[in-house]
C-alpha cells in the first residue's frame, strides 16, 4: 500500500510589503496509512501553514503533495480547527452533520453518522443546544465529532486542545485516542506541547522556525492508551522529552537572535 500522505519538496513563501518570508522550505515527508503523527515546533514555525496547505486552505509555492485516496466517495481530508471552529448559528447536531450535509450525503447516512459520533463524544444530550451554551471542551468535542463524522481519508488537527485547561486536555486526548483507535484514520496533529505529542503519536516530527524545516523525527513505540503519569515516570520517554525540549529551545533562541 502506498503511503497515505506524500509531501515532496514543499515550499511556501509569503510576500509582504517588508519583503518575503519563507514559511516552509523543502519539506519532504511521508505518512503511512493509519499513522498518528504529531508536528511539534515553536510558534511561527510554519506548522499551521503546512496543515492549511494540506487542508486546501492555502496554496503552496513550490513542490508537491499528495493524499492517496482509498475510496473515491470519501472526502480527502477534514480539519479540526482551533477553538471557535464550530458555527455558532447551528446546533451541536447540525455542526456535527455539517461536512456530510455539505457533500449532500443521503439523509439516513447523515442521521446515522451524526448520532454515532454524538454518542461517541458524549454529546447526545446536548444535540439541540447552540455552541454558546457549551464549555470550551464541549465545543472541541463537537469539532472532533464533525471531522470524524465526515469520514475523510485523513484528519488534520490544528492545536485543537491548546485553549483547554490541563484536566480537560487529558480527557479529550483520551477520548480522541479511543475514537481514533476505532477508525484507524491517518492523523496529522499540530501541537506545541511535547507532553501532548508523547501522549498521542506514533511519530513526532520536529520543526525549526523560519524557514520551517523538519529537523528531527522521533518514534514512540508505546502501547496506547498512555497515561501522563507513565510518560512522566518512564526514563526513556523522559529522555525523549528532554531531547525534544532542547531542540525546541535551540530553535526559539535562534529565532530570537
Partner 1 sequence: MTQSGKIVQDPVRVERAEWKRQQTKARLQQLLTIVSPVFLLVLWEVLSRTGVMDIRFFPPPTAIVQTFWELLVSGAIAEHVGVSLYRIALGFLAGVIPGIIIGLMMGLFTPIRHFVSPLVMALMPIPTLALLPIIIILFGIGDLSKVITIAGSVFFPVVINTAAGVLNIDKIYLDVANNYGASKSQFFFKIALPGALPVMLEGIQMGQAIALLTIVAAEMMGATSGIGYLIWTSYKAFLLQNMFVGLIMISFFGYLFSLLLRGLQKKLLPWR
Q: For the CB of residue 91, give the shortest distance to partner 1 in the complex, in Å.
A: 8
Number of residues that bind partner 1 (CB under 8 A): 25
Nearer to partner 1, 23 or 197 (CB): 23
Q: For the CB of residue 89, give the shortest distance to partner 1 in the complex, in Å.
A: 4
Nearer to partner 1, 88 or 122 (CB): 88
**Applying CB under 8 A, which of residues 90, 115, 228, 252 lies at the interface with partner 1?**
90
Nearer to partner 1, 160 or 240 (CB): 160
**Applying CB under 8 A, which of residues 48, 93, 114, 150 lies at the interface with partner 1?**
150
Q: For the CB of residue 128, give the shortest distance to partner 1 in the complex, in Å.
A: 10
Instruction: Mark residues 57-76: x for contact with partner 1 by CB under 8 A, - for none.
Output: x-----------------x-
Nearer to partner 1, 53 or 218 (CB): 53
Alpha-carbon gap, residue 12 to 49, rounded angstroms: 8
Query: With b meaning 16 or more CB within 10 Å and e meaning fewer, what string describes 3-28?
Result: bbbebeebbbeeeeeeeeebbbbebe
**Size of the chain in residues:** 257
Nearer to partner 1, 16 or 256 (CB): 16
Q: 53, 60 in Cβ contact below 8 A?
A: yes
Q: Kindly give the residue spans of alpha helices, DSSP state H, lying in the chain.
A: 47-54, 92-96, 98-102, 107-120, 136-149, 166-183, 194-200, 228-233, 235-256
3-state secondary structure of 178: helix
Nearer to partner 1, 5 or 198 (CB): 5
Instruction: Mark residues 99-138: x for contact with partner 1 by CB under 8 A, - for none.
Output: x--xx--------------------------xxx------
Nearest residue to 159 (alpha-carbon basis) of 31, 10, 240, 45: 45
Q: For the CB of residue 141, give the shortest distance to partner 1 in the complex, in Å.
A: 16
Contacts of 65 (CB under 8 A, 6+ apart): 5, 6, 7, 8, 10, 53, 54
3-state secondary structure of 207: strand
Q: 41, 206 in Cβ contact below 8 A?
A: yes
3-state secondary structure of 161: coil
**Residue 46 contacts partner 1 per CB under 8 A:** no
**Applying CB under 8 A, which of residues 84, 219, 227, 250 lies at the interface with partner 1?**
84
**Applying CB under 8 A, which of residues 50, 55, 123, 214 lies at the interface with partner 1?**
55
Nearer to partner 1, 96 or 194 (CB): 96
C-alpha cell at 58: 492555502
Integer angstrom CA distances of residue 174 from 180, 204, 216: 10, 18, 26
Binding positions for partner 1, rule: CB under 8 A: 55-57, 75, 77-79, 81-82, 84-90, 98-99, 102-103, 130-132, 146, 150
Amino acid at each position: 500500500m502506498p503511503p497515505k500522505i506524500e509531501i515532496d519538496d514543499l515550499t511556501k513563501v509569503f510576500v509582504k510589503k517588508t519583503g518575503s518570508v519563507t514559511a516552509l522550505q523543502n519539506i519532504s515527508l511521508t505518512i503511512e496509512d493509519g499513522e498518528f503523527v504529531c508536528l511539534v515546533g515553536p510558534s511561527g514555525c510554519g506548522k499551521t501553514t503546512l496543515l492549511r496547505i494540506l487542508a486546501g486552505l492555502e496554496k503552496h509555492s513550490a513542490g508537491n503533495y499528495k493524499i492517496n485516496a482509498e475510496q473515491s466517495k470519501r472526502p480527502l481530508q477534514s480539519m479540526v480547527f482551533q477553538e471557535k471552529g464550530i458555527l455558532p448559528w447551528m446546533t451541536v447536531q447540525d455542526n456535527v452533520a455539517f461536512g456530510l450535509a455539505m457533500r449532500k450525503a443521503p439523509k439516513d447516512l447523515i442521521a446515522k453518522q451524526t448520532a454515532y459520533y454524538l454518542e461517541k463524544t458524549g454529546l447526545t444530550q446536548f444535540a439541540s443546544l447552540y455552541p454558546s451554551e457549551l464549555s470550551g471542551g464541549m465545543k472541541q468535542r463537537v469539532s472532533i465529532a464533525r471531522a470524524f463524522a465526515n469520514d475523510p481519508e485523513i484528519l488534520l488537527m490544528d492545536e485543537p486542545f491548546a485553549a483547554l485547561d490541563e484536566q480537560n486536555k487529558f480527557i479529550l486526548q483520551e477520548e480522541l485516542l479511543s475514537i481514533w483507535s476505532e477508525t484507524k484514520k491517518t492523523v496529522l496533529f499540530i501541537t506545541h506541547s511535547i507532553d501532548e505529542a508523547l501522549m498521542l503519536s506514533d511519530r513526532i516530527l520536529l520543526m525549526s522556525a523560519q524557514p520551517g524545516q523538519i529537523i528531527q523525527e522521533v518514534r514512540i513505540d508505546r502501547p496506547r492508551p498512555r497515561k501522563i503519569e507513565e510518560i512522566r515516570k518512564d526514563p526513556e520517554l523522559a529522555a525523549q522529552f528532554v531531547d525534544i525540549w532542547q531542540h525546541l529551545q535551540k530553535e526559539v533562541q535562534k529565532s530570537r537572535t
